[in-house]
Structure 1
Amino acid sequence: MAEELQPKTTLGKSFPVKPKLKPKARTLSQTPESKYWSSFKTQQIPNLISSINSISFSQIPPHLFAAAHSASLTLFSSQTLSQHSVISSFKDVVSCSSFRSDGALLAASDLSGLIQVFDVKTRTPLRRLRSHSRPVHFVQYPLLDKLHVVSGGDDGIVKYWDVSSENVVLDLFGHKDYVRCGDCSPVNAEMFVTGSYDHTVKLWDVRVENSKSVMEVNHGKPIEDVMFLPSGGLAATAGGNSVKIWDLIGGGKLLYSMESHNKTVTSVCLGRFGNESGEEAMQYRILSVALDGYMKVFDYVNMKVTHSMRFPAPLMSVAFSPDGMTRVIGTSNGSIFAGRKKRENVESGLVNFWSLGRVEEPQKRLLRPTYFRYFQRGQSEKPSESDFLVVRPKKLKLGEHDKLLKKFRHKEALVCVLSGKNPENVVAVMEELVARRKLLKCVSNLDNEELGLLLSFLQKHSTIPRYSGLLMGLMKKVLEMRAEDIKASDILKSHIRNLKRSVEEEIRIQQSLQEIQGIISPLLRIAGRK
C-alpha cells in the first residue's frame, strides 16, 4: 500500500504531528492607494425608484451632482450628500445630463428624443431641443464652450446644437447603430468623440466641412461609455467586460486593454489619487463600474488595477467630483452609493502657534540609581534594525497521540486519535505511521472494537477528496487483512455495508457531474467562439 512511500518522519523527535494545511484565501497587502480609495466613507442614498442611468457633476463649487432616474432629475449636494432639488419636467425616462462649465445651466435628455436646458437655481426649462426621431442617450456641454451642446441617440445621428436658437448646426452621420455615449475634448471645444453599439468610436471635428468623422477605432464590443483623458490625446472606451486605452494622436493605436471585470462595463470616469496639494494631486485614475457589482481603479500610466471594491447590486454609472472629494456610484436598483473623503485637519489637536508662541517640550525626568524605574529601564524598548534579537524557543504542547508516538506506542496512538473528533489529526497520525512503516502492523493488532472505530472513520471520510488518496488504499488493505474478523462480527459487517453505500453514492455523484460536464462543455465552446 502506501508504505512504499517515504515521506519525512519525526521518528524519535518531540515534534507534534501536524495536519496538512488547508488552502487559505489570498489577502492583498494594503497599499497607500488602496487606503486612499478606502478612505471614502460610503453612504447609501436609497429609494430613487429606478436605475440610475447617469451621474454628472457641476464644475463650480459647491459641485452639485445630478442623478438621472425614471422621469426625474435629482440634484444633490456633494458636501452633505443631501437632496438639493428635483426637476420633474420630463414625459419619459431621463437618460443623461450635463452641467455647463459655469454651473448655471443643465442640459438633460430623455427617451422621448427631447433635450431640455434648465436654469439650475430656478429649475425652469429655458430651451427645448427637438430633432432626434428616436430616444436620446447622450447629451453634453463642451468644457470650453457655453453656447453649444452635442447629442446622440438611437437614430444613429450625432447632432451639434446652437442652444440659444434651438437649432441644429450640424448633423453628423457615420454610425450604423445606436449612439449611446460621448465626450467632449478637454483641450479643444470643436472636437468630441461618440460611441455606438456598432462597436466603433468616432472622433468628430465640427470644423470639417464634409461632416465626416476624422478618426474611427473599433472596440470589438458594443460601446457603453467613452471619455477623453486629461491630455486630450488619449481616450478610454468601455464595452463588453473590457476598458481600452487608445492613442488618438498616434492614429487610433490601441495602447492597453483592461479586462478585470466579469460582466459588461457600464460606465467610466476620471478620478484623482493623492492629497489636496502637491504632486500626488495630479495623478489621475480611471474608475470603471460594471454589472458584476465591482468598481475598479485603473492606473493607466503603469497599466495596472490598483484597487477594487464590491457593491451589493449591478452598477450603472459612476462620477467623481472635480475637487476630488466625492465619489458617486449609481446602481440598477435605484440606490446611490456616495463616498465623501474627509479633509485632513492639520490644525486639529495642535496648539495655536501664533497665539501662544513657541511651545517647549517638557523635560524628561532623569533616572538615577536610587529610583526603582532605573532598574526597569529598557525592558519595553523595541529592537532597532542593527540589534540582534534572541528569541526564546516556545515550549511545544504535545497532544496525547503525540506523546504516545514519542514513546513508540503506535497502536495506542492510532486508537487514541480515532476516538477523537478531528479527522485531520487522524490522517496526520496515519501518515506518520506510514513513514515509520507501522500502519499495517497497527491495523493487524486492532481488536474488534478498535477495528470498528477504524471502519467507522473510513466510512465517513474516505470519499473526501483531500483524504481519499490515503484512505482508499488503507480501506483496501483492511478488507484484505481482516476479512475473517469482519465475517465473524455482525457489527463489523454493518460498518462494511455503510462503507459500501458511501462509495456507491460517491460514484453516482461523480457520474452525474460527468453528465453535466458533457452538457455544458459544448455550450461553453460555442459561447467562446462568439
Structure 2
Amino acid sequence: MQNNFLPLNTRRFQQRAQVETPDTVYWERLAKPELLKEHNTIDYLDFSPSDPDNFVLTCSVRVQIFNLVTKLVVKNLSRFQKTAYGATFRQDGRLLAAGDEEGHVKLFDTTSRNILRLFKGHTAPVHRTFFTADKLQLASFGDDKAVRLWDVANEKVVQTYEDSHTDYIRAGAMHPQAGHMFVSGGYDGKINLYDTRAETAVQRTLDHGAPVESMLFLPNGSIFVSAGGSQVRVWDLISGCRLLTMMSQHHKTVTCLRLGSDGRRLFSGGLDRHVKIYDVSTYKTVHTLTYPNAVVSMAVASGDQAVVAGMVDGLVSIRRMIVDSKPSHLKKISADRGRRHGKGLMHPNNTQAVDHTIKERVKGPGLKKFDVLLRQFCHKKALDDAMATQRTQKKPELAVAVINDLLHRKSLYKALTDRPDEVLVQFIDFVCNHLGEARFMRTLMMAASTILDVFERQLVAYSQQLMEALERLSSAVQEEVKLTAELMQLKGAMDMLIGVSMDSGEVAHKPIYVETKAPKMQPSQAAEKYVVFVE
C-alpha cells in the first residue's frame, strides 16, 4: 500500500544548525530588521529612559529623536553648525547632551527642543558626553586630550583633567551609583579611573592594548568593560582594576558596547558586521546578530524591546522583539476551557456530557513523483525526475536524497548504465557543481566513484562531450583534495602556534580547532583512479 511507503527524508542534507539554547530561542524572536537611511555615518544611538519608544540618533549636523513604532522623527535638534557627536539622555530622560566638532557641549530640553546650556572650554571636537549618577554634573571627553566635568546648574566647569591621555579621548563611562567616579579611554590605549573627591585626579591607569572605542559599567558598578581593537576586556574595580577576562570574538575593530536583559547580557558591535551577545556571568558568547555593513553604534531598549544598530554607510537597522499577540489572561481562559472539555463536562452545543472528541484526520504530504517511482523500483525514471533542471537549481537536496537512496539500494550503478550522453553529462555536472558543499560531499563522492565504475566497462565508446565532462569531474575532485590538504596544513600550523603559546604562558585560552570538510572516505583514491583512467 502507498501509505506504507515513506517519502525520502531530505532533512539530513540540510546545513548543520546552531545548537539551540534558551538564548538562541529568545534572541531569534527579534523580527526582521526595519531600515532607515541617513546620508552619513551613524555616530551614536541612545534610548530614552522615560519613554522607551523613543531613541536619539546622532548623524552629521543633526540630532534627531525617532519613535520606535512609527519610525518617524519626533524632534529634530538641528542647532549645530558643524558635526554633532554622541547625543545621550540623562537618567530621567528630560535632558539631552551632545558634543560637536567646534568643541562645544550643548544641553537640550527634550520637551521643548530649547538649548538650556552651552558649555565652552574644549579646543577640539567633543565626541562623548555623559551625565553623572546624581544627574547634577556632566562629563565631556574631547580630542584635545582633556576630560572636563561641568556643573549643569550654573554652566561652569568643575574639574579639568588635561594630562591624563596622550591622544584623542573617544570613550568614557560614568559609575552607575557613585557620582564621583568615572573612567575614560583614549586612542593611546590607556584607561584612566577618576575620583573627583581625591587630591590625585587619576586613581589608576590601565592598558587596553589598542585604541579604546567604547566603555561601560555593569549595573552594580563593581565591573567595567572596555572595547578597542578586536578585543573586549573586563576589569574588576573592587580588586584593584584587575583584568578578569578578555574576549576576542570579533575579527575587526569593536566599536560599541551596550547592556541588555537588565544588565545580564553584554552587546558588542564591530566593523566585521556582527553584534555579539555575551552572558555576563560566564562571559561566553550566547548569540550573534549579523548586519549588512560595519556596525559603528548601537542601542538596546529596556526589556530588550528592540535592538537598534547604526552602520558606517548611514543605514539604521531596527529589530523589535516579537511578543505573543494573545494576552496572558486569554491564554489562561483557553487553557481552562480545554481542561473543562477534557474532563467530561457539558459540551456547549449539546445537553449531554462529552467524554471524547473525534478530530478530523489530517492528511500528510503526498508522495512526490520520484517517491512513487522508487516505490515501483523504476530507478532510472526516479533519477531522471530528481535531476530535472528546474529542481536541481532550486532544491539540490532532493536530487542528492534520491542519489543517496539509490546508493543504499545499490542501484545507482544500474541507473547510470546504458544512458544517453546528455543524461550522463548532466549528472556529472551536478556532481561537480555541488561537490564542495559539506552537506552533500560524502554522497556525491560515492556517486563520483560509481560514475568511474560505469565508465570502466567501455572506454572507447564515449563521445568527446562526455570525456570533457569527465575532465571537469577530475578537476573538481582534485580541487577538493587540494583544499583538504591545505586545511590540514593550516590546522597543524595553528596547533603548533597555540601549543607554543600555551607552554610559554602567553595565552590562557582553549585551543582553536579548524574543522575540515574531508569525508570519511579518502577522495584521493577516487582522484588517482580517474587520473590513471583518463591518461
- TM-score, normalized by length of structure 1? 0.69
Secondary structure, aligned partner of 1:463 = helix
Hey, what's the Cα distance between the residues in 2 that align with 1:412 and 1:98?
69
Q: Matches of residues 252-267 of structure 1 in structure 2 within 5 Å?
A: 252-267=241-256
Where structure 2 has 5 or more consecutive residues not aligned to the other structure, the ranges are: 1-11, 348-355, 363-373, 384-402, 432-442, 481-522
Partner in structure 2 of residue 312 of structure 1: 292
User: Which residue identity lines up with residue 93 of structure 2 in the other structure?
Assistant: G
Provide closer, same or farther for how the CA distance between residues 478 and 29 of structure 1 changes in structure 2, counting only shifts above 3 A.
Answer: closer
Q: What is aligned with 2:264? A: 284
2:505 is the counterpart of 1:449: no
Deviations 1:115-147 (A, max 9, x none): 0111111111111100000111111111x2222
Contact 2:254/2:269, CA 8 A, preserved across alignment: yes
What letter matches 1:216 in structure 2? Answer: T
What number of residue pairs does the alignment pair up?
420
Provide the C-alpha distance between the structure 2 equivalents of 1:409 and 1:191, rounded to a whole number of angstroms: 74
Pairwise CA RMSD of aligned residues?
4.0
What letter is aligned with 1:44? E
Worse-matched range after superposition: 120-129 or 300-309: 300-309
Conserved? CA contact 2:379–2:411, under 8 Å: no
Give, in whole Å, the separation in 2 of the partners of 1:108 and 1:470.
Answer: 66
Identity %: 28
**1:54 aligned to which of 35, 44, 49:** 44
| 1:251 aligns to 2:257 (yes or no) | no
Q: How does 1:455-470 map to 2 (within 5 A)?
A: 455-464=467-476, 465-466=479-480, 469-470=525-526
- Alignment-derived partner of residue 64 in structure 1: 54
Which of 151, 163, 166 is the aligned partner of 2:152?
A: 163
Alignment pair present for 1:476 and 2:466: no
Partner of 2:5: none
* Partner amino acid, structure 2, of 1:325: Q
Distance 2:410 2:61 in 1: 81
- The alpha carbon displacement at 1:235 in A equals 0.9
- Show the counterpart of 1:123: 113
How does 1:53-452 map onto structure 2 within 5 Å? 53-62=43-52, 64-142=54-132, 144-172=133-161, 173-211=163-201, 213-272=202-261, 282=262, 284-344=264-324, 347=327, 350=330, 360-361=340-341, 363=344, 399-400=379-380, 416=419, 420=424, 421-423=426-428, 424=431, 428=446, 431=449, 443=456, 446=458, 448-450=460-462
**Which AA in structure 1 matches 2:230?**
N
Q: 1:109: how far off?
A: 0.7
Give CA deviations for 1:3-33 in whole Å, capped at 9, x if unaligned.
xxxxxxxxxxxxxxxxxxx997432133321
**Inter-CA distance 447–462: structure 2 relative to 1 (3 Å threshold):** closer
Which structure 1 segments of 5+ residues have no match?
A: 1-21, 273-281, 367-373, 381-393, 480-530
Structure 1 residues 78, 323: CA separation in 2 closer, same or farther (over 3 Å shift)?
A: farther
**Structure 2 vs 1, CA of residues 398 and 304 (structure 1 numbering), >3 Å: closer, same or farther?**
farther
Separation in 2, partners of 1:432, 1:41: 46
Q: Distance in 1 between matches of 2:282 and 2:524?
A: 46
Moved more, 413-422 or 326-335: 413-422
2:474·2:530 contact (CA, 8 Å) conserved in 1?
no
> Is this contact kept in 2: 1:160–1:169, CA < 8 A?
yes
User: 1:164 Cα shift?
Assistant: 2.0
Partners of 1:189 and 1:271 in 2: how far apart? 22
Distance 1:453 1:319, change over 3 A: closer
The offset of 1:429, in angstroms, is 6.4
CA contact (8 A) 1:241 1:261 kept: yes
Q: 1:298 Cα deviation (Å)?
A: 1.0
> What letter matches 1:270 in structure 2?
L
Q: Alpha-carbon deviations, 1:426-447, whole Å to 9, x = none?
A: 974674699xxx88xx74x627
Give the aligned residue type for 2:246: S
Closer, same or farther: CA 428–397 of 1 in aligned 2, 3 Å: farther
How many angstroms apart in 1 are the aligned matches of 2:273 and 2:319? 16
1:399 offset after TM fit, Å?
A: 3.3
SS for the counterpart of 1:60 is coil
Which one has the largest radius of gyration? Answer: 1
Question: Matched residues in 2 for 1:427 and 1:239: separation?
Answer: 45
Alpha-carbon offset, residue 410 of structure 1: 8.2
Q: For the residues of structure 2 that align with 1:396 and 1:154, how far apart are their CA atoms?
A: 78
Which residue is 1:16 aligned to? none
Q: Is the 8 A contact 1:263 1:291 kept in 2?
A: yes
How far, CA to CA, are the matches of 2:427 and 2:73 in structure 1?
Answer: 57
Question: TM-score if structure 2 supplies the norm length?
Answer: 0.68
Structure 1 residues 301, 408: CA separation in 2 closer, same or farther (over 3 Å shift)?
A: closer
Contact 1:462–1:468 under 8 Å retained in 2 = no
Alpha-carbon distance in structure 1 between the residues aligned to 2:127 and 2:138? 13
Deviation digits for residues 323-363 of structure 1, max 9, x if unmatched? 4323221122222222332454663682897xx99994363
Equivalent runs, 1:11-22 vs 2, <5 Å: none
Which residue pairs with 2:368 in the alignment?
none
| Structure 1 stretch displaced more, 90-99 or 465-474 | 465-474
The verdict on how the C-alpha distance between 1:475 and 1:105 changes in structure 2, with shifts beyond 3 A counting, is closer
- How far apart in 2 are the matches of 1:164 and 1:313? 41
Three-state SS of the structure 2 residue aligned to 1:33 is: helix
